[in-house]
Structure 1
Amino acid sequence: MMHINYGIDGPKFVRNLFLFSFLFFGIAIIIARIEKVAFSIVLAGGFICLAEGLLMLLYAKKGKFNHRDRMLNLVHWTGDERVLDVGTGLGLLMIGAAKKLTGGKATGIDIWNKDDLSENSSGKAYMNSEKPLKIRHIVASMLNMKNTEIGHTHDSAGSSWHVGHDGYYFYNG
């Protein structure tokens, strides 16, 4: 049985949280005998960074599946939908939607930036589908979809919380 990997969101950010936690713990050890208040503040910073890093790993391994299932359960599926997943990454949402389809098709678009999701690539997203599904991957930015191969309307379009740095500026710029 193939092990499916949907990656870690913001892998460099997660790495930095752990690095900062160890840095804070190291500083706390050094100043423990010198300054009690600073020791407490620095130690708290280390625990906050460590906890946030662990929570992000927990979300990557468990939470994102629950999040996907809640999103997909909001749709009243007929099986013939055309689904668009914007920022598909390694295909978690797109593949979940494709499994609900009998005659429809799921399309995932992404720029596949490895800074946004570990091991991010269209090939890895395709490999994550356990059985033959009606899916296709398009390399495209959600900021300029005029020239993409999408070419038709969709019954349902979705994106998870994070659509990459470009998407963040698009929504908040």
Structure 2
Amino acid sequence: MVTPLIVIKDSDIEVTASDFAKPFILRKFCGPFAMSLYVELRARGFDPVSSFATAFGSAIIGHPDEVSKAAAAFETSSWYQSELPAVRERIGTDALLAEYECRAAELSSFTTSLAFEIPVEPEPVSAYTAARDEEEYSEHVKQQTIRKHLRAIKEGQASQPSFPDYEQERARTAGLGTFFPANGQ
């Protein structure tokens, strides 16, 4: 007999990770609070496996690979797809950015303690690559500015084209170059 890799506790029902694309499974065995908690954790930047274990772990256990697949399946559900943007909007951009900064600090704390012990010797960046990076970055800033301006026009907050953000960013970053010397110099 093969041991299932994901199990609903105190239930004889057999489930696969893909079954979690059907929200009724989680609603039936974990309840709407757990479902909402999962969305809240994901919106705040927690990873799928720990969010799944936190929200649904009292009723569902499984191998981390299967839990990851179950979380991915749940995130394809129409219920999750409609709830996530609403939760993000309720939390707000500033609070989400603060949460993401916390997640980055949490995720990197262990790695950071080891990073200085690892010998890293990056290849020098060629002048061609540095110039190409500068061009691509400038184009990226320009496209972001255009999208921002178009959004403002759509929302009725702007009336004529101007690109001060692009020009300011370009002036700010001009001559910054790269952290590595070109051609190994």
Give the TM-score normalised by the residue count of structure 2. Answer: 0.22
**Would you tell me which structure has more helix in proportion to its own residues?**
2
Larger radius of gyration: 2
**Would you tell me which structure has more strand in proportion to its own residues?**
1
Give the TM-score normalised by the residue count of structure 1. Answer: 0.23
